[in-house]
Structures are given as C-alpha cells and as structure tokens.
Amino acid sequence: MAALLQDVGQAVANGMQTVDTVFVGGGTPSLVDPDLLMSVINALPLSSKCEITIECNPDNVSEALMHAYKSGGATRISLGVQSMRTNVLKILGREHNPENVRTAVEAAKTAGIDEINLDLIYGSVGESIDDVRSTIGEVIALQPTHVSAYGLTVEPGTPLARDPSRFPDDDDEADKYLLINSLLEDAGYANYEISNWSRKGSECRHNLLYWRQGNYLGFGCAAHSHVNGRRSWNVRTPDRYIDLVASGESREASFEELGQEARTLEALQLALRMRDGIDERHLLAPDLEMLEEFLTRENGRIRLNPRGRLVANEIAVRLVAGS
C-alpha cells in the first residue's frame, strides 16, 4: 500500500489528468484497512462527481467498513456474490455464506452507498436451472442498482482447467443466460452490455470507459493501462512492483500498440456488445440476412437480441470497419 501511494503520488506530480472514475478491484480490496485504501484513492486528482467503485467480499463487509468507504468518498460497491445457493458456491470453491450478502447489502445502504452491484457466475456443472432461478430471485429481492452475470470460463492453470469433468456446457450456459436476462428485465433491470444489467442511470461508468476504448491508468501489481491505443500492463508480483516503485523505475512489464484499423474494428466489436449497437452498414447484406434472427434492426442500426448475445463473438468476426 505504501508503494501504491508512492506510485500515485509520482503520477500526480508528473501532471496526471483529472480522474472521472476509479475502480478498485482484483483480489479482495475489502481486506485492506479502509482508511489506508481511501487515502490512496484521495491522493488522485478526482473530479467533483467521480464514480468510485470498490470490490468487496461479502464476508469482509461490516457497517463500519461501509461507513469508512462512504466518508472517504466511495460511491459504489461491487459484491462478489457468485451464487445465493450454498451447493453452487461449494462447486465454485467459494466459502462465503449467502446470508452475508444480505448483511453486506444492508450495511452499504445504511452507510448511504446507494449504487450496489452484485456479481454473479453461472454455468458450473451441478448448478440447476432452479438454482439460477432462486439466485436471481434473491438478488432482485435485495434491490441492487446493478447486476453483472458472467458464464463460468475455464482459465489455464486453475483447478477447473485440470478437471474436464467440471467444464461448463455451452448449451446449459445459454439456457441459463436467457433465463437470467428474462428475470432481470422483467424486474426492471435493462441489459446495456452482454453481461451487465442496471436500473436506469446506474450503468457502471468505469466499465463503459473500457467498452468505449477510453483512456485509463492502472496502478498496482498486474494493473493494465490504455492511452490512445497503447495498452500496457505492470509486473505481476508484489515484491517486484514494490522494488520498482522504490527505485523509480518503470512498473511496466510489457505493452502493445494497436494501429488505427485494428482500433476501429475493435471499437465496432465492443459497440456490438452494448445496448446502442452499431450502424447496419458494418455487416454485409448477405450476413445481415443470414443473422436476422439474432438482431434487432431499427433506423439503420442493429443491436443483438438476447439470442444474438449468445453468439456475439461469431457475429463480431463478420463486421467490416469500412462503409
């Protein structure tokens, strides 16, 4: 944390621009002393209406923690819920008690933090449709302003990757996604990105920045940055990060730079995932006709319908950047 504060201080001294959103994530930020965490955030040149999100493990949340975040300027909390079913949490290797989710939401609201996201994972082997229906019902009852739901993915080097019998089934995930979307939309949560739903006005501004190819700076181990098409990422291990900050050397491990054509195509692929969609001229006429069942067309624009979101990647590879 001392290195992180020093890192931020150096960036500010070098003329860092005003910050409109902050997202504290990765690992479990709620384990850190809240006053220390907020001192790092408040060392940044924050705008007057800065969105500040902190990810939390429901087991770490208390009213005192939420009050400390609120008094330090936090405006948004994201809780790693995954599921409200204990049998599913066990399958996922998570240990928190669903009751702690309810307690955490209440603590955040009591502290005056109105913007609350609940983060879900669906698609694990052994999770039934009824498990998903139950989880979404309980989530809606808690009245968060935002819900994220991601299909379980197999990441290399994880215990899941070493056990093919636990790999998620695409058709099963598709059925669960369509159910989640239907239940959330019926409850007043609008889908504005494939895996994200919110009440009106409660979209995550920080994530929108990513999806719109905005500029952002990453501080800390393995943090990523993007400035005008140049992506970079920091060294992964805390000891190396601390040493580099102390010596004044670059924390950057590597980078990539996208050309204009690649950036334009990526912008289209990201826009396709969002509620506003894209101009229909970016799909050739034969593809538009073939993909009609997956799209909503209106006033020269196309958006993915719920079934289309299931095959977004397949549609994205057919996009053409030119007019």
Same domain, 91 and 177: yes
Pairwise CA distance, residues 77 & 146, whole Å:
10
pLDDT value at position 161?
Answer: 87
Give pLDDT tens digits for 40-82.
Answer: 999 999 999 999 999 999 999 999 999 999 999 999 999 999 9
Residue 270 makes CB contacts below 8 A (sequence gap 6+) with 211, 212, 213
Pairwise CA distance, residues 170 & 313, whole Å:
14
Pairwise CA distance, residues 36 & 315, whole Å:
45
Say if residue 307's pLDDT is above 60: yes
pLDDT value at position 160?
Answer: 84
Give pLDDT tens digits for 279-302.
Answer: 999 999 999 999 999 999 999 999
Residue 13 makes CB contacts below 8 A (sequence gap 6+) with none
Give pLDDT tens digits for 11-51.
Answer: 999 999 999 999 999 878 999 999 999 999 999 999 999 99
Mean pLDDT to the nearest integer, 92-112: 92
Last residue of a domain, one of 190, 210, 230: 210
Give pLDDT tens digits for 163-186.
Answer: 888 889 999 999 999 999 999 999
Mean pLDDT to the nearest integer, 262-272: 95
Pairwise CA distance, residues 143 & 114, whole Å:
10
pLDDT value at position 216?
Answer: 98
Look at residue 249 and tell me if it is in a domain.
no
Query: If DSSP codes are grouped into helix, strand and coil, which group holds residue 111?
Result: helix
Same domain, 81 and 205: yes
Mean pLDDT to the nearest integer, 125-150: 97
Look at residue 276 and tell me if it is in a domain.
yes
Look at residue 107 and tell me if it is in a domain.
yes
pTM: 0.95
Query: Within 10 Å of residue 282's Cβ, how many Cβ atoms?
Result: 21
Enter the tokens of residue 183: 């239940």
Cα 34 to chain centroid distance, Å, stands at 22
Place of tokens 């082997």: 125
Domain CATH for 132:
3.80.30.20
pLDDT value at position 305?
Answer: 98
Pairwise CA distance, residues 295 & 273, whole Å:
12
Residue count of the chain, please give it.
Answer: 323
Q: How much of the chain, in percent, has pLDDT values that exceed 70?
A: 99
The DSSP bridge partners found for residue 79 are 56, 118
Backbone angles phi, psi at 113, to 5 degrees: -90, 105
CA 206, 170, 172, 136: dihedral to nearest 10 degrees?
0
Same domain, 181 and 286: no
Alpha helices in 152-283 (DSSP H): 170-186, 205-211, 238-247, 260-272
Give pLDDT tens digits for 172-221.
Answer: 999 999 999 999 999 999 999 999 999 999 999 999 999 999 999 999 99
Q: Which domain holds residue 277?
A: 270-316
